[in-house]
Amino acid sequence: MIFEILIPGKPVGKQRPKATIRGHHAGVYTPKETVAYERYVVAMFLQAYPCAKPLEGEVRGYIKAFYPIPQSTSKKRKTAMLDGSIRPLVKPDLDNVEKIIYDALNGIAYTDDSHITAMAITKHYSNNPRVEITIEEV
């Protein structure tokens, strides 16, 4: 079984949990942007696979993150960005993009993220920012 999911929009990375101290109540919370993007990833998965059951065995994950091209870029440089000669050296970092995607799909696309035995992620430029995800059962 293979799941292929498209997440429209600029890639988002997982943010670190935040600590708060208010009076006698101290706690840790997940930033709103992280929670919102994880929900968005789940919604895109469920839209593509409304009746899917989580994969139970060994899985592999592949992610392609497509970043927007800055508006001030020259035509020559833009062409090089689109053909892959120039790759994004911008945030969010790949490990944070990977983390937010795999955490969001945990229990949805696969029973547990400990079942992921191989993964790959790459950064690209595009006029159409997005994240393309492939999850396959081995």
The domains of the chain are located at 2-137
The alpha carbon dihedral of 24, 28, 29, 31 has a sign of positive
Terminal-to-terminal C-alpha distance of the chain: 8
The answer to whether residue 56 scores a pLDDT higher than 90 is: yes
d(CA 44, CA 50): 10
Render pLDDT for 83-92 as a digit per residue (tens, 0 to 9).
Answer: 999 999 999 9
Of the pLDDT bands very low, low, confident and very high (cuts 50, 70, 90), residue 75 is very high
Q: For the chain, how long is the longest CA-to-CA vector?
A: 58
Domain 2-137: give its CATH architecture.
2-Layer Sandwich (3.30)
